[in-house]
Amino acid sequence: MTLAQGSWPTYTDAVLDSVRRERREVERECRAFQRFRQCIQTVETQAPRFERSVVGVNQSLTSAEKSVRDTIEPWYRETVMAVDHYGDVYGDSFEASLSAEFGMDVLLLISEATTFSPLIKQRLLEATQQCIDNRRVFLETLEDEFTTLKDAQSTVQEIREAIAELDSTELQALSDTELIDRYDTLHTLNDKCQSWIQQRQEEIHAHRIDRSADADAYTDLCSYLYEDLEVDYPVLGTFVDILEIISQYE
């Protein structure tokens, strides 16, 4: 069995599935935040009776009082935390989720306030819109990644076909001109791999993930998307492996 017929790196097949899955999840999250935002928009605001956070009054809500959180939390759970993948991907509490997405200050604000003031409504609308915008930007990044992976997959197939053609001819049967053509072909294939490796390294440095408002959630795109695969950087790994295959023909 020749190298062209045997084992070739197939990382791109698995990573395409990962990107498809991530894209579906982010789209669901966008829709969930949009539904949550629609709930906020329906609220009729009232003038606040006092600002706990400003005056620093350490008071507890009486049994007759309800905080803004009592209104917000069910909506958040029924929308954002109700997406199918929430438990597997996040699996956190309401407090942890809202703090990560909106900030701890917003969580404290809705927990202490008993009046749904215009300020609170505006803060929630803005924070929710930011979550939606972050995910829309991330979806564009995922689309770019998907296109890149498809292009890489096509290049791998082209190289494999070229190697298969080289395999079909015995070296001893080649003329000097054909040997030069063979060398030129291998050189071209090598250049393609090197070009992909350089391009991919630049993309890795340029692409970061912003799926959450939590600064600690930032990481490079590949290690985030492909953490469950055997390699963190599958496109790089693919073309490094192919370079090794090409070297066996030189």
What pLDDT does 92 receive? Answer: 94
- The whole-chain average pLDDT of the chain stands at 86
pLDDT at 139 exceeding the cut of 90 = yes
The closest alpha carbon to 39, from 83, 76, 82, 86, belongs to 76
**Cα separations (Å) of 229 from 146, 194, 216, 234?**
16, 23, 22, 8
CB 135 within 8 A of CB 33: yes
pLDDT tens-digit profile of 11-60? 888 899 999 999 999 999 999 999 999 999 999 999 876 544 444 444 44
* Candidate from 144-148, 170-174, 213-217, 233-237 with smallest mean pLDDT: 213-217
CB 68 within 8 A of CB 110: yes
What pLDDT does 74 receive? Answer: 97
Domain ranges of the chain: 11-22+136-247, 25-133
- 20 compared with 175, residue with greater pLDDT: 20
| DSSP H or E stretch at residue 100 | helix 94-102
What pLDDT does 53 receive? Answer: 46
Q: What is d(CA 201, CA 34) in angstroms, rounded to the nearest whole number?
A: 35
Q: Is 56 exposed, middle or buried (0-12, 13-18, 19+ CB in 10 A)?
A: exposed
Task: Enter the tokens of residue 103.
Answer: 């900030």
What pLDDT does 65 receive? Answer: 66
Q: CA 90: distance to chain centroid?
A: 14
Beta bridge partners of 201: none
The size of the chain, in residues, is 250
pLDDT tens-digit profile of 53-83? 444 444 444 444 688 999 999 999 999 999 9
Q: What is d(CA 117, CA 14) in angstroms, rounded to the nearest whole number?
A: 49
Task: Enter the tokens of residue 7.
Answer: 């084992």
Q: What is d(CA 241, CA 245) in angstroms, rounded to the nearest whole number?
A: 7
What pLDDT does 217 receive? Answer: 52
What pLDDT does 231 receive? Answer: 82
- 172 compared with 98, residue with greater pLDDT: 98
Task: Enter the tokens of residue 89.
Answer: 């991907």
